[in-house]
Structure 1
Amino acid sequence: MSAILSQDDLNDFISPSVACIKPIVPASQDESNIGEVEIQIDKNGNPLEISKIDQKVKQLSPAQISLSDCLACSGCITSAEEVLVAQHSYEQLLNSLQDREKVFVVSISHQSRASLAAAYSLSIEQIDKLLINLFIHQLKFSYIIGTSLGRKLSLIEEAKNIINSKKESSENNTGAPLLSSICPGWVLYAEKTHPHVLSYLSTVKSPQQITGNILKTLVSQELGIPKKNIYHLSIMPCFDKKLESARPEKGQEQESYNDVDCVLTPKELVTLLEQHQDEYQLMAPLQEHDTLKNLYRKYAPNDWPLVEYSWSNDSGSTSGGYGWNYLKLYQQHLILKDPVQYQIENFKIKIVNGKNSDIYEMRLNYQDKLIASSIVLNGFRNIQNLVRKLKNPVKSTSGGTTTKRINPLVAKRRARLQKSNSASPVPTSTGLEEATAEEIDVLKADYIEIMACPNGCINGGGQITNPSEISEKDWISEVILKYSEIEMVDLANNLNIVNDLQGWEQQYCESFDIGQERLINTWFKQVEKPTDQATMLLGAKW
């Protein structure tokens, strides 16, 4: 790509030869000896192979790319997005470090810490200490924090959002589920290909973006410098987080900065260390003898709230636990609202396995009556089924939506097949029933936690891949074990923390004149398909 080409010069199309990373299947011996050929497109848009020796014409089969080939990788991005992704590289980070006017800060996600700990065969405590040393003492960053504050605020706001949505649905006799928007891969896919689902998306921001807003604001106040002079690096498990960081803030066109300036994945961080091993290494500093919690406090901004929990974990799935925390916080909401009617010992959460291990439902029952439900849904295979059902829901006689009746023989066979399957990790609890294999109806759930990657964020595209001697399944299990080592601070069992965080959030917005929408909410728009005839012709069969 020419160096003088700017982002504004690019349209929304990448030719397949540039964008796709699917390996090309070599031609057979007979087909490879036909001499030089020319590829042309006929008037109907069909690809033709024309021999320059005898002008023989052969019609080519359209290229076939499955969802597993395409949508689960980083190849299906637009040309403008490719420029943005190129700006988020460790080379760009190292170049930016030369800017002496900048103050550098970094936030690190839970899944990234688990991936690095597994890759280096270290505990979470050890990897956290080494990461603090790497960024503070070697790369000369001024502050380092975990993304726990941003995640906990996101979890609380999401639960509030679902509860309000559930109330409105009950009053209006509608039953559409609220869909999470934490995964940028899923959001981009919806915006580009299924705009009919955008009205179902929750507008609550991801932990990355909430963390970025707070981190830049507090550092700006503490050091007395403008936010544009603060460079925020985010370590995330997913390449699509690079694109999320570049999304413009609604109504904030006058801002000359982003909340997140650069996103690197664990894979890229390891590559940086390997290619610059003479300068940067994961090693403990000789002069640092503080406990880990003291290190967390020492290198966080002075006004960072609940800093002792700033690197803590949350119960639920390894993608953040949004579905689980909604149910537990809704349970607490009911108890506080009517303690006479609702007693905690009568609540149970029942796990229902889906058609595959990447979809399961959690049903909150009170005295065996279903009162709320959430679904964890990972991978584009399940996403495709979801968007199809949302596009063509079957109307029920009661006014809501439902799906077609399942053949009981099919249900029995499915139950037998799933008997040995286990749902994705959820915390053990006295209020948790064993997993069963019943039918899941996505249209009847209150909330669906959606992640584009199979197994969720713990298996993000930017996570470190399994060594050759370990299977992918065993490697994911190893990373999940590391993830579970992170100290747990369960919101549903610590309502004082929930109240403290909500109070701090309100005070933060008032003190810095930041609207809650700016801090918490995002927005979506349909991405228009290209109208250029040449682009449409080339992309018609791809």
Structure 2
Amino acid sequence: MSAILSADDLNDFISPGVACIKPVETLPPSTTADASSLETEVILDGQQPEVAQPAKITLTDCLACSGCVTSAEAVLVSLQSHSEVLNTLDLGPSLDLLGPDADGRYTVHGLEDESRKLFVASVSPQSRASLAATCGRNITEKEAGQMIQRLLMGEEGLRAGGRWHNGFAWVFDTNAAREACLVLGSDEVLNEGIGGASRPAKPILTSSCPGWVCYAEKTHPYVLPHLSRVKSPQALMGTLIKSTLSKFLGISPDRIWHLAVMPCFDKKLEASREELTDAAWARTGKASRGVRDVDCVITSKEVLMLAESRGINFFDLASSRPLPRQTPFPDARIEKFLCSRGSSHSQSSAAGTSGGYLYFILQEIKARHPGSDIQTTKGRNADVVEYTVTSASGEVIFKAAKYYGFRNIQNLVRKLKPASASRIFGARTAGSARRTGVKSTALDYAYVEVMACPGGCTNGGGQIKVDDPVVMGRRGLSSKPGPSEQKEWLSLVDEAYFSADESEDVDVHVGADGSQEVPVNGISPSYARDTLAYWASTTGIALDKLVYTSYREVVSDVGKDKTTDTERVIQLASKVGGGW
């Protein structure tokens, strides 16, 4: 990339008819254009010049649907890969963390060398499920998480190679942040939010799927007031790690390098958002764009590539070797919150594989209204479901829905489109679902769980697919898998996702008055709220700055006339022979 040209200058949209950010090898070969190609083409003997066929893409191929990925974002995505992880690990020795001492304090050595960093990672349960299914041999999600720990932290993993033999100091489970996001999202829907802040417009739409957020910002900005302001688990984990370690270790956030392992390529775009940097929560007073809360995102597939690049067989890490020992986290209460559930989770399969946002809200409403009942109504396909909570007397208490996949999302946003006034005097309002005498059912919902991938996050674009050579080799498949094999594969990934030990103990939170709270789907809402409040108090940062984010309309410059007035005058003058 040219030193003159920065990613900030690239705000164009890449349309599928022009180009696509599918892997380069799938695109048709480009031809070198000569000077004559810049002039108007002349058709000779009735023969049309040959034009290369555009790449054929589908909704599944797109990172964020319908060509709404910009070239700037393509650059940002390319900068986040397993190669970037290895290059960063090899820049210099990691910071030395010594402690805790008798007072529980830590000492960080090596700060004088700016290339030295402290490496921290967080891993999603969907990625662990994908790797568990790939391993086979009845490997559970928890065991797959332990394999990732051995890779990132262990002596037999990344530390065995590289220039400095660096590894990660901590590897956390994003389920801790997910549980906090569930409580925050429920509070946003059922209460007034944190600090008395106003809630989004109804229906409130989930915002943890970056592909959906990207699509909304660039194609349907009228739905932005409906988006939940709660950060995604990836983003919340990044803020929690960097703000807490920065506070307790006395180092700046840019000395902490946070890697996230996610099931989706769009998470790379999320990590690049300006709203998800320390500029949104740190009191630096600097007019800078800030340090990312998540420095790099790699997908489940890239975990295998990461291991292979260092000559490590990832599947050999499923051994009985003891797990690498993690240094105690600088704050015991935050450590308990991050590590109490281990590398596993336990939730009902009815919650789905995308975090269970809607399911948690429905269960909390049911707990608040004894005797109430949850009724489900299937939509036009398996990825559209409506939910209604009714009281014992049959009164409707709450209505919600889930919409997965871009085809269904398009129907949802069409229903939410506001009415547009006709330019014809006396004409009726048109152009929306709110026609005279017609009321959109989407407007009746209080909440909608929206995810870009059909089937949920275990089917994310960054997951290991059944036609991957690794999977085909380990499953003994000689021909390209068909639809039945793909369906069976997804069911195996889902099975691994729900393979948590149901006997795991769930912390029962005891209030100051000695009362015990009944967990909702294995989660104690008051425990999560108390921990979040403690986090805000220890860092000295308002909680709303730590847990909420914002969105903005993104306008494409493609197809717009960028010619300045001076250029237009010059062009006009040249056409009339100068004249001045």
Q: TM-score range by the shorter chain?
A: 0.7 to 0.9
Aligned-residue identity in percent: 36
Specify the alignment match of 1:129 in structure 2. 146
String of CA shifts for 1:380-423, please: whole Å, max 9, x gaps.
000110111111579xxxxxx979999xxxxxxxxxxxxxxxxx
Q: 1:83 aligns with which of 72, 75, 83?
A: 75
Specify the alignment match of 1:97 in structure 2. 89
Q: 1:348 aligns with which of 363, 369, 373?
A: 373
Specify the alignment match of 1:115 in structure 2. 130
Larger mean CA deviation between 369-378 and 258-267 belongs to 369-378
State TM-score, norm by structure 1.
0.75
CA change 1:255–1:55 in 2 (3 A) is: closer
- 2:78 aligns to what SS in structure 1? helix
Specify the alignment match of 1:274 in structure 2. 308
Q: 1:500 aligns with which of 495, 520, 527?
A: 527
Pair 1:151-2:178 in alignment: yes
Give the distance between the partners of 2:67 and 2:307, measured in 1 at CA. 25
Structure 1 residue 480: deviation in Å?
Answer: 0.4
CA change 1:258–1:5 in 2 (3 A) is: same
Q: 2:242 aligns with which of 204, 207, 216?
A: 216
Give the distance between the partners of 1:493 and 1:286, measured in 2 at CA. 32
Q: 1:485 aligns with which of 488, 496, 499?
A: 499
Bigger RCO (CA 8 Å, 6+ sep): 1
Kept in 2, the 8 Å contact 1:145–1:296? The answer is no
CA change 1:41–1:349 in 2 (3 A) is: farther
Structure 1 residue 514: deviation in Å?
Answer: 1.8
CA change 1:300–1:361 in 2 (3 A) is: farther
Structure 1 residue 322: deviation in Å?
Answer: 0.5
- The letter for the 1-side match of 2:383 is D
Kept in 2, the 8 Å contact 1:233–1:260? The answer is yes
Structure 1 residue 529: deviation in Å?
Answer: 2.0
Specify the alignment match of 1:458 in structure 2. 458
Specify the alignment match of 1:309 in structure 2. 341
Specify the alignment match of 2:47 in structure 1. 56
Larger mean CA deviation between 310-319 and 502-511 belongs to 310-319
Structure 1 residue 163: deviation in Å?
Answer: 1.1
Give the distance between the partners of 2:238 and 2:201, measured in 1 at CA. 34
CA change 1:501–1:7 in 2 (3 A) is: same
Give the distance between the partners of 1:104 and 1:70, measured in 2 at CA. 31
Kept in 2, the 8 Å contact 1:212–1:260? The answer is yes
- The letter for the 1-side match of 2:172 is I
- 2:530 aligns to what SS in structure 1? helix
Give the distance between the partners of 2:434 and 2:67, measured in 1 at CA. 36
CA change 1:322–1:300 in 2 (3 A) is: farther
Give the distance between the partners of 1:243 and 1:74, measured in 2 at CA. 16
- The letter for the 1-side match of 2:322 is E
Give the distance between the partners of 2:171 and 2:206, measured in 1 at CA. 28
Structure 1 residue 281: deviation in Å?
Answer: 6.6
CA change 1:50–1:354 in 2 (3 A) is: farther
Kept in 2, the 8 Å contact 1:402–1:443? The answer is no
- Hey, which of these two has a bigger chunk of helix by percent? 1
Larger mean CA deviation between 6-15 and 256-265 belongs to 6-15
Specify the alignment match of 1:360 in structure 2. 385
CA change 1:144–1:278 in 2 (3 A) is: closer
Structure 1 residue 25: deviation in Å?
Answer: 9.4
Structure 1 residue 366: deviation in Å?
Answer: 1.6
**Which segments of 5 or more consecutive residues in structure 1 lack a partner in the other structure?**
27-35, 43-48, 167-171, 336-342, 395-400, 407-439, 537-542
CA change 1:117–1:66 in 2 (3 A) is: closer
Larger mean CA deviation between 184-193 and 15-24 belongs to 15-24
Kept in 2, the 8 Å contact 1:105–1:142? The answer is yes
Map of 1:69-468 to 2, 5 A cutoff? 70=62, 76-98=68-90, 99-100=92-93, 101-121=116-136, 122-137=139-154, 138-139=157-158, 140-164=167-191, 176-249=202-275, 251-252=280-281, 254=288, 256-278=290-312, 282-284=316-318, 288=322, 302=332, 303-306=334-337, 307-311=339-343, 312-315=345-348, 316-332=351-367, 334-335=368-369, 343=370, 346-367=371-392, 368-392=394-418, 441-467=441-467
Give the distance between the partners of 1:472 and 1:403, measured in 2 at CA. 42
State TM-score, norm by structure 2.
0.70
Kept in 2, the 8 Å contact 1:403–1:443? The answer is no
- The letter for the 2-side match of 1:309 is R
String of CA shifts for 1:476-530, please: whole Å, max 9, x gaps.
11100000112466951556x2212211111210110122122111101110120
- 2:385 aligns to what SS in structure 1? strand
Structure 1 residue 286: deviation in Å?
Answer: 6.7
Give the distance between the partners of 2:313 and 2:134, measured in 1 at CA. 20
Specify the alignment match of 1:33 in structure 2. none
Pair 1:475-2:489 in alignment: yes
- 1:351 aligns to what SS in structure 2? strand
Structure 1 residue 305: deviation in Å?
Answer: 3.1
String of CA shifts for 1:315-365, please: whole Å, max 9, x gaps.
412100111111111233x34xxxxxxx3xx22211211101111122222
Larger mean CA deviation between 465-474 and 240-249 belongs to 465-474
- 1:485 aligns to what SS in structure 2? coil
